[in-house]
Amino acid sequence: MSDENHRLIPLWMWVAVACAAVGAAVWLALNSRRPDPPESFRYDVGEFEQVEPERVIAIELAPITPGIPGLRALAATPDGALLVAGEKTLLVCGLDGVERVRYALSTTPECVAAAPNGRILLGTVNHVEVRDPAGKPEHSWAVPGERAHLTSIAADESSVYVADAGNRVVLRFDYGGELQTRIGEKDAARDIPGLIVPSPCFDVAFDNTGAFWAVNPGRHGLEQYRPSGELVSAWYRPSMAPDGFCGCCNPAHMAFCSDGALVTAEKGLVRVKLYSVDQKLLGFIAGPAAFRATPGGPFSPELDMPVLDLAVDAQDRILVIDGRANAVRVFQVKEPH
Amino acid sequence: MSAGNTVRRRDFLRAAAALGVGGAVWKAAAPAAGATVWQLDPQKCVQCGRCATECVLSPSAVKCVHSYQICGYCDLCGGYLQPSARDRDTGAENELCPVSAIKRTYIEDPFFQYTIDEALCVGCGKCVKGCALFGNGSLYLQVKQDLCVHCNECAIAKACPGDAYRRIPAEQAYLLKTRPEGGNGQE
């Protein structure tokens, strides 16, 4: 065999191939990065987070910062005051946020309400406390049931309604703490489907006509009950769409305006929305972007916190507790609805 | 003593050797005191999807596990249904899991049970994110110790953006979620 046959592949090419092989081996050994997870592994709710600006029907006013750690509950009184509860503290302030009086409490309330007779109602995990209009404790009682976990409280002239998420029931007491009615328990004979409460997001409220409403978070809607526990009406809207309620426990909070319009706040995809009395979506008070830890950034379960409570004040302004900011954010609907 | 009952030296040495080898095998197989394994802290998990792609195994040793104690048994389950699902049913177009590893079973109105088919699960955490975002967080990821090959340097831990991986004692090899105070899963 001649030398020319040996040089069909020149030596420098062998050297180049060997260098390339060694280089590739070194690169593979040092660079262990793998491809990013594919699109199919990503959970994306981006399209539902977008709210067209024309659908936002409220403007945000200056927030109220009561200076209480761990803001938890909020209520508006008919005479133009706000009740704000946080860590072992209850604050009464004006609509401008100026403090009127502050009470130190032995425990942190889960919920607070203003009764029409001027009394202040506080709910802890398993106790109800009634205070007179001057803030002096009048009466308190324990809620029956080992699993009691109160999440909301509302009252009319004669009764106190307590939402017990632990036992999935609304309890109606008189002002002396005597249990009158258990509301919302499944009863086929009375055509009551039963309250589904998967988490401690369970709100109750009165509308402008004095009718009592309870959120049924597992069915994604609201139910109206008589004081006797009869189910009057219900509407459910399970959907990710703007006019629906998504997740397992929404709407998480609700409140009524003076004209009967309904304000709801959702967790997960945090949205505050306004509905007409015939359950049509009027628009967004605030969309998910308003509650992002990072403006314009993606949802972060660690940093983003849901709305912790919701109220409508005597001027029909919508107040929400922003847990991340530890402040009461104030929204005003632009046009009468 | 009769001759038949006499233990010969060769038999004795064989028995001793067998005992020694058996003991060594048992010692090697049993976790030593202070042995640790890799595990994922569900509280730190950011559901990035890298557990599915970074593990040296394919499919990954990370699987979704379900705490029935925490689950709300929701009809509109954020961990089972696509965000844009048209219907709340088992239609493939409505399922969130890319490998259809979650089974939905009707219990009673309006409750459904969700079970993980571990053989199908790839550990992408997509359902975990949906459950955390809209539900009670009952779905979460764990390194299955029977599948894990216990690399000295875990490839997923190296890539984890949430710093959720750490070594924990082998005797308690899982970081299981329990029902939080005030939680209300439907037991």
B72 touches chain A (CB under 8 A): yes
Is B5 exposed, middle or buried (CB count within 10 Å of its CB: 0-12, 13-18, 19+)?
Answer: exposed
pLDDT computed for residue A303 by the predictor? 53
Q: What is the pLDDT of residue A93?
A: 95
| In a domain? residue A325 | yes
Residues 6+ apart with CB under 8 A from A50: A287
Nearest-Cα distance to chain A for B150, in Å, is 18
Query: Does the predicted interface ipTM exceed a cut of 0.85?
Result: no
Specify the pLDDT at position B55: 96
Domain range for A166 is 52-333
A218:B72 CB<8 A: yes
For residue A36, the model assigns a pLDDT of: 83
Helix (H) or strand (E) holding B59: none
Which CATH number do you get for residue A226?
2.120.10.30
Number of other CB atoms surrounding residue A66 within 10 Å: 21
Contact status of B107 with chain A (Cβ, < 8 Å) = no
| Residue A5 located in a structural domain | no
Q: Judge if the upstream peptide bond of residue A200 is cis by omega within 30 degrees of 0.
A: no
- Write down the residue that tokens 């309870």 correspond to: A214
The domain tally of chain A equals: 1
Q: Half-sphere exposure (CA, 13 Å, Cβ side) for B85?
A: 25
Cβ-defined contact of A35 to B53 (cutoff 8 Å):
yes
Is residue A45 in some structural domain? no
Helix/strand/coil for B90: coil
Assess if residue A4 is contained within a domain: no
pLDDT of the residue at A216: 96
- Whether A267 is covered by a domain: the verdict is yes
pLDDT of residue B186: 43
Which pLDDT belongs to residue B20? 85
Q: Which residues of A touch B (CB under 8 A)?
A: 32-38, 40-45, 47-48, 125, 149, 165-166, 168, 193, 196-200, 218-220, 238, 240, 246-249, 268-269, 299, 301-302
Residue A173 covered by a domain: yes
Tell me which amino acid residue A293 is.
Answer: A
Q: Specify whether the CB–CB gap between A222 and A215 falls below 8 A.
A: yes
The single-letter code of the amino acid at B123 is G
pLDDT (tens, 9 = 90+) of chain B, 187 residues, equals 444 567 788 888 888 888 888 888 776 666 566 899 999 999 999 999 999 999 999 999 999 999 999 998 988 899 999 988 888 899 999 999 999 999 999 999 889 999 999 999 999 999 999 998 888 899 999 999 999 999 999 999 999 999 999 999 999 999 999 876 555 554 3
Query: Which pLDDT score, from 0 to 100, does residue B97 have?
Result: 97
**What are φ and ψ of residue A322, in 5° steps?**
-95, 110
Q: Which residues, 6+ apart, have CB-to-CB distance to A268 below 8 Å?
A: A246, A247, A250, A306, B78, B133, B134
Is residue B104 classed exposed, middle or buried when 0-12, 13-18 and 19+ CB atoms within 10 A define those classes? middle
**Residue A251: is the preceding peptide bond cis (ω within 30°)?**
yes
Instruction: Say if A101 falls within a structural domain.
Output: yes
Question: DSSP class of residue A168?
Answer: T
Residues of B in contact with A219 (CB under 8 A): 110
For residue A329, the model assigns a pLDDT of: 95
Q: Number of helices (H) and strands (E), helices first, in chain B? A: 4, 6
State which H helix or E strand residue A21 sits in: helix A11-30
Residue in A110, A39, A13 with CA at minimum distance from that of residue A71 = A110
Q: What is the mean pLDDT of each run of 10 residues along chain A (337 residues)?
A: 65 92 86 79 86 94 94 94 96 95 96 96 96 93 95 97 97 97 95 92 96 95 97 93 87 96 93 96 93 62 72 96 92 85
Degrees, nearest 5: CA angle B95-B131-B128: 80
Distance set, CA A220 to CA A6, A192, A245 (Å): 81, 15, 6
Q: What is the model's pLDDT at position A294?
A: 62
Q: In this predicted structure, what is the pLDDT of residue A181?
A: 97
pLDDT of residue A32: 62
Q: In 3-state terms, what secondary structure has residue B140?
A: strand
Phi, psi of A67, rounded to the nearest 5 degrees: 75, 30
Which residues does chain A have within 8 Å of residue B133's beta carbon, measured at their own beta carbons? 43, 45, 247, 268-269, 299, 301
Output b/e per residue, A113-130; b: 16+ Cβ within 10 A. Answer: bbbeeebbbbbbbbbbbb
Report if residue A320 sits inside a domain: yes
As a whole number of angstroms, the distance between CA A208 and CA B94 comes to 40
Cis peptide, bond prior to residue B110, ω within 30 of zero: yes
> What does the pLDDT read at residue B187?
37
